[in-house]
Homo-oligomer: A and B are copies of this chain.
């Protein structure tokens, strides 16, 4: 009994036609309840299981959405994926997860593979290397709905779900200013990513509002890994640059900075306050000097998936992309000089 029973087997066993069986199993109103019952009973008896592959081929759908993130284990992304999975599951969709590992080439090959697999939709947070969007043409050509989340790109006709990075950067910086900080460094990320541009813009705007001069040498751009944060902090200290706070554009770099300061016995936040644009509740639980935007990953994931599912089920890709900006109430936990 290697061969799984098919609808034909159950049809034959009942002396009826397989299309009736198909209809019954899909709970079509065009079958008597009586025959439905018979069919269901027989299906049960034979241990029948629908072959989703065949069904999908016929219907030309997969009930699967592809997700591409730079790296699954980054907390922001794993919580986004959690939100995606929950929303997708509730709607009867599965989720295929792929990671670009920040490599454009890998991202391209993944997109290609997912299109071949005929995913019903695509959710992408682009890699740091992605400056070229040719691989997305394939997606458009195949009319596969696509929604960017978090790391979007500034091209029209695509939808994105992001948090309000400008406001976040503004509030984080203003928060430090209100604590009395006057010399605030900023760790920024690659400029091809809108999110980092916007966080930087928010930082600048806050300085301006509070009449603090913007100092070019206070902004250090890196890939924002933990080691980068450590190195950035070291540079500032070694060069004796006078700072009393750092606004880091992500959590990893903030953690690196904290690590360095702890080693140097520099007090946080008394000597130098740190705010990391972050979504790492565990870290903040044990180190309150880290700022988190709690739940932002989850919320972005859910929102992006809902938007995507709309496109998929309406079968209408909107002419113009839509950008959903999630106004997260920032600074749930604060780095504070007064604490």
The interface of chain A, by Cβ under 8 A from chain B, is 2, 4, 47, 49-54, 56-57, 62, 64, 71-73, 75, 77-79, 81-82, 85-86, 89, 94-99, 110, 113, 115-118, 141-143, 226, 251-252, 255-256, 258-259, 262, 280, 282-283, 285-287, 290, 297-298
Contacts and interface: CB of A to CB of B under 8 A. Distances in A.
A110 B4 CA distance: 20
| Most chain B CB neighbours (cut-off 10 Å) among A96, A115, A256 | A96
A98 B113 CA distance: 20
Contact of A286 (B56, B118, B259): B259
Going nearest first, the 5 A-B pairs with the smallest beta carbon separation are A78-B78, A286-B287, A73-B79, A73-B82, A72-B82
B116 A52 contact: yes
5 contacts: A4-B142, A49-B115, A95-B97, A226-B282, A259-B286
Contacts of A4: 142
Nearest to A53: B57
A94 B73 contact: no
Given A52-B117, A116-B52, A282 B96 contact: no
* Secondary structure type dominating chain A contacts: helix
B118 A94 contact: no
Contacts of A56: 53
B259 A118 contact: no
A117 B99 contact: no
B283 A282 contact: yes
A141 B48 CA distance: 12
B98 A89 contact: yes
B64 A73 contact: no
A81 B85 contact: no
Contacts of A99: 82, 85-86, 89
A86 B226 CA distance: 21
Given A49-B115, A64-B96, A286 B255 contact: yes
Contacts of A259: 285-286
A259 B283 CA distance: 11
A49 to B, nearest CB: 6
Contacts of A143: 2
A72 B85 contact: yes
A47 B285 contact: no
Contacts of A72: 78-79, 81-82, 85
Contact of A118 (B52, B110, B113): B52
Contact of A53 (B75, B118, B141, B280): B118
Contacts of A282: 75, 226, 251-252, 255, 280, 282-283
A182 to B, nearest CB: 26
Contacts of A262: 286
A285 B285 CA distance: 13
A162 to B, nearest CB: 19
A259 to B, nearest CB: 5
Contacts of A110: 89
Nearest to A251: B282
A188 to B, nearest CB: 20
